[in-house]
Structure 1
């Protein structure tokens, strides 16, 4: 343990983001709880008895962020290994792969992040090019959306029956079942030490970014039971961030309980991803003559939701395309008919990603009490007139994706995450992406986005009291070097900034694109400091 849990810490001389006092400049922490928030003058009464006094020097104190969708081992492997995110060309990617392979003497090499949609060549490496770059080593390289991957000849040879599986390609990326098989073969060659190092790298990076809690979305097609068990054990023996596990397996309720997961959901795939042409659509892709891949039917969704509701466990599904989301909504409604709408709503079942939503689907989210666990960084990465979404769907369908404002207007609970390593752990960048959505009508206020990335993650777990800095709340917070605290006018989400303290609204950092993001000075989880700059 880094600190005993009954310490009293006084923070003063800053700006405390608290609904209990919009003008608060100080905060007292006793053990794992916030004891008081208020002014510097009133804080003097606590200064002599506190075990520690932190002089904030104008810094901002906020609730710690919650990343509501991560894959810790894969994220750690990208942080510590080969990450092709942002690689500008195919030749550059091959050079990076070759350099990485030359420095790793043995074992399966694992990397992530290539995106052919942004390369001038417009294609991924061929199998021959990959084998040349890797010198014949066994290599697994997931695409940026983690729904297809490059696998070298040596790795393919380690995967029994690969050529017979759906999604197999003799020369190009593998998707669907073939992708799941080579990923399982690659991850099976990780040693416990490698897995622990990767998971620790993710937890460390999260703490450095002011993230106090993570929702790990595990499952048999994305990781393994051993992987989730190891992560939860690592989180339990460390001071933070906290980790809440989801196990995405059909009929996986007992496995979820045995592993200590909080839900039988997360990445329980109803479809794939737009970038890999595996998201399930009603109409064909603009750049492919098919509608993607359906992994689960509405009937299977109904059976799973009904079973989870009866068991008192949260269900959740990965659904991106409009046809996949339609199957989820049909299935949840059928489950509500079986076990009762009130019970289904009370369970707060989740839909991960939920990108392609029309007004009818949004209304169904409200009707069924579903939480939308979404990733604003997807729009920042692939939205806009020249982005991958337009390539895959055309301009009209692309402009309808990720309608955060409409979801909020309908009262749908939002929980923000990164889906790391698909997009990086970057909480303030995520808030910015939602506030400055590439489609203006989908933008939400910075305050609403910040709430979705803090309190929204706790509400998705059914813990409505957490994620705020008020007396009696859990002391999980972050301290930020953040100048220019501002308040957004409610009628102007883009340029309506104000510094007028008479608004009575706590200020947040200016996140206008191009403005520097806040730097984390300290992260505290349940009263324990887990990061200090």
Structure 2
């Protein structure tokens, strides 16, 4: 019996050595460490959702026994990308609304909105992404086709840069907008004394403030949809610029539940209630969320003709830059 003890001890030692001490080993890759020398490695090890070691596959395979091994086939692997100026939540909301980006004419935009309305029978119709610069003539649209298709239901469609919208008469009526009305830092476009439906910069808020707040479910869908698309292209942290303070707790709760894994640096919009919130409670910081600054708006955008110029826009006969 005594002669068997060495064999038993060797067996126990072998079993102990075979215990898993990592979750994942990725090898045969070009791993960009992004250190000061921009060195590369060909393997790394993950445990508990974190990279715990980077180096050569031979060395790491000797040191770690992973539950899963992935051969990257020589592909490049980078640390997660960070977007320093994004509108993460607004992007997610846009994914729940009418997609208008890339449409080649105003008629095509209206047809797309009508198709969306057939599938979604209630509430405001909100769209995103139209761009008159890719249409023949490059002229801003007029609301006449929207009024014809939607005489009662309010419609607001955001330009691709977020600095202008077109709204139908039903939406303008809800907001109380009249021809000749002026707004500081914005423009309510009229032609021959009639509203075209185009609103630029600060004029946009006159209508958007009348839109009911998104439901809790819609807000969650927006955040998670944006996350899925960002993760798919390697974005793991975003700076979301111009949120209301009410979104801070929503984001924090979703992160705490583990549903929202995107890391966010949030700038609050420059509104009194947001200043009061952050100045009163101070910096809000968790492992996945950092709130400590504001986005302040100083000017418009060229594409929506809201940026201040010394002379009027040469492709627009009506209106002029505003100050």
TM-score range (shorter-chain normalised) is: 0.7 to 0.9
Partners of 2:29 and 2:76 within 8 A in 1 = yes
How much has 1:293 moved relative to structure 2?
Answer: 4.0
* 2:245 aligned to which of 197, 200, 225: 225
How much has 1:79 moved relative to structure 2?
Answer: 2.1
1:343-354 alignment, distance < 5 Å: none
- Report SS of the residue matched to 2:138: coil
Residue 207 of structure 2 corresponds to 182
Residue 53 of structure 1 corresponds to 69
Between structures 1 and 2, the one with greater strand share: 2
Residue 202 of structure 1 corresponds to 226
What is the rounded CA distance, in whole Å, between the counterparts of 1:287 and 1:60 in structure 2? 45
TM-score, with structure 1 as normaliser: 0.48
1:24-423 alignment, distance < 5 Å: 24-31=41-48, 33-48=50-65, 50-134=66-150, 136-160=152-176, 164-166=181-183, 167-169=187-189, 170-186=195-211, 188-219=212-243, 224-237=244-257, 238-249=259-270, 252-256=274-278, 258=281, 260=284, 262-266=291-295, 268-288=296-316, 292-294=321-323
Q: Deviations over 1:304-358 (max 9, x none)?
A: xxxxxxxxxxxxxxxxxxxxxxxxxxxxxxxxxxxxxxxxxxxxxxxxxxxxxxx
Residue 17 of structure 2 corresponds to none
Partners of 1:26 and 1:37 within 8 A in 2 = yes
Q: 1:113 to 1:130 in 2, by over 3 A?
A: same
Partners of 2:26 and 2:69 within 8 A in 1 = yes
Q: Deviations over 1:466-502 (max 9, x none)?
A: xxxxxxxxxxxxxxxxxxxxxxxxxxxxxxxxxxxxx
Q: 1:79 to 1:197 in 2, by over 3 A?
A: same
Q: 1:155 to 1:172 in 2, by over 3 A?
A: closer
Q: Deviations over 1:275-322 (max 9, x none)?
A: 11111234543334777344xxxxxxxxxxxxxxxxxxxxxxxxxxxx
Partners of 2:254 and 2:260 within 8 A in 1 = no
Q: Deviations over 1:188-225 (max 9, x none)?
A: 34222222212221111111221111111124xxxx33
How much has 1:135 moved relative to structure 2?
Answer: 5.4
Partners of 2:127 and 2:158 within 8 A in 1 = yes
How much has 1:66 moved relative to structure 2?
Answer: 1.1
Partners of 2:89 and 2:226 within 8 A in 1 = yes
Partners of 2:88 and 2:240 within 8 A in 1 = yes
How much has 1:247 moved relative to structure 2?
Answer: 0.7
Q: Work out the number of aligned pairs and report it.
A: 282
What is the rounded CA distance, in whole Å, between the counterparts of 1:225 and 1:200 in structure 2? 19
How much has 1:232 moved relative to structure 2?
Answer: 4.1
Q: Deviations over 1:3-29 (max 9, x none)?
A: xxx964321121111245734100123
How much has 1:121 moved relative to structure 2?
Answer: 4.0
- Report SS of the residue matched to 2:24: strand
Q: Deviations over 1:233-278 (max 9, x none)?
A: 3344335111221113166544235483533323x21011111111
- Report SS of the residue matched to 2:83: strand
What is the rounded CA distance, in whole Å, between the counterparts of 1:141 and 1:114 in structure 2? 8
How much has 1:56 moved relative to structure 2?
Answer: 1.9
Q: Deviations over 1:388-423 (max 9, x none)?
A: xxxxxxxxxxxxxxxxxxxxxxxxxxxxxxxxxxxx
What is the rounded CA distance, in whole Å, between the counterparts of 2:320 and 2:294 in structure 1? 24
Residue 14 of structure 2 corresponds to none
What is the rounded CA distance, in whole Å, between the counterparts of 2:73 and 2:202 in structure 1? 54
Q: 1:141 to 1:235 in 2, by over 3 A?
A: farther
What is the rounded CA distance, in whole Å, between the counterparts of 1:108 and 1:182 in structure 2? 11
How much has 1:64 moved relative to structure 2?
Answer: 0.8
Residue 451 of structure 1 corresponds to none
Moved more, 107-116 or 150-159: 150-159
Which is higher, the Rg of structure 1 or of structure 2?
2
- Report SS of the residue matched to 1:215: strand
TM-score, with structure 2 as normaliser: 0.77
Partners of 1:162 and 1:181 within 8 A in 2 = no
Unaligned runs of 5+ in 2: 1-20, 190-194, 285-289
Q: C-alpha root-mean-square deviation of aligned residues, in Å?
A: 2.7
The structure with higher relative contact order (CA 8 Å, sep 6+) is 1
Partners of 1:248 and 1:265 within 8 A in 2 = yes
How much has 1:58 moved relative to structure 2?
Answer: 2.2
What is the rounded CA distance, in whole Å, between the counterparts of 2:178 and 2:85 in structure 1? 29
